Amino acid sequence: MGLYKPTSGIISIGNDNLSNINIQSWRNCIGYVGQDVFLFHSSIKDNICTGVKSVDFDFLRRVCKYAT
C-alpha cells in the first residue's frame, strides 16, 4: 500500500518503482482484508450486518446458514 518508504532498495509493482507511481491512484486499486477476528459489543445481527444499510430477516438467515 506504500505506507512506508523503504530505507534501502526499492519496492516495485511489476516493472515500476513504487516511488514513481501516483500513490493515491494505487491505493484506490487495493482492498484490505484484516486477519484479526473480533466482535463488536453489540448483537450478533449487528456484527454480521456491519456496513450493510438495510437487512431483512431472510438475508440474515441465509448468511447464518452459510456460516455454519
Q: Where are the domains of the chain?
A: 1-32, 35-68
Residue 33 CA to residue 62 CA, distance in Å, equals 22
Residue 12 CA to residue 61 CA, distance in Å, equals 44
The three cell numbers locating residue 33? 482484508
What does the pLDDT profile of the chain (68 residues) look like in tens digits?
A: 788 888 999 998 889 898 898 989 888 888 888 888 777 888 888 888 887 788 888 988 888 898 87
Given a contact cutoff of 8 angstroms between Cβ atoms, the answer to whether 46 and 55 are in contact is: no
Residue 52 CA to residue 60 CA, distance in Å, equals 11
